[in-house]
């Protein structure tokens, strides 16, 4: 599956909308935003499939967990 710019953009908007109503604790809001944004980016990156060929031997693909 390919990484989707539109999907990531929507996830970022969702996180921003969720955080924008925070009025009581700006530090907690900032931490929550950073964690949710990082999770959204990692989720999209994990969708990437790498296919490689090499003329001189095998190619090792490392999975992102």
Residue ranges covered by each domain of the chain: 1-65
State the Cα–Cα distance between residues 22 and 31, nearest whole angstrom: 12
| Pair of tokens at residue 15 | 């996180």
- Predicted TM-score (pTM) of this structure: 0.65
User: Which is more confident, 24 or 10?
Assistant: 10
Q: What is the pLDDT of residue 64?
A: 62
Q: Say which residue the tokens 């990082």 belong to.
A: 38
User: Which is more confident, 26 or 65?
Assistant: 26
Per-residue pLDDT reduced to its tens digit, 25-44? 888 888 988 999 999 999 88
State the Cα–Cα distance between residues 48 and 43, nearest whole angstrom: 10
The arithmetic mean of pLDDT across residues 49-62, rounded, is 75
């Amino acid at each position: 599956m390919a990484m989707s710019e539109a999907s990531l953009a929507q996830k970022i908007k969702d996180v921003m909308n969720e955080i924008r109503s925070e009025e009581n604790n700006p530090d907690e809001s900032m931490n929550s935003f950073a964690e949710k944004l990082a999770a959204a980016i990692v989720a999209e990156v994990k969708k990437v499939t790498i296919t490689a060929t090499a003329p001189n031997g095998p190619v090792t693909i490392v999975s992102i967990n």
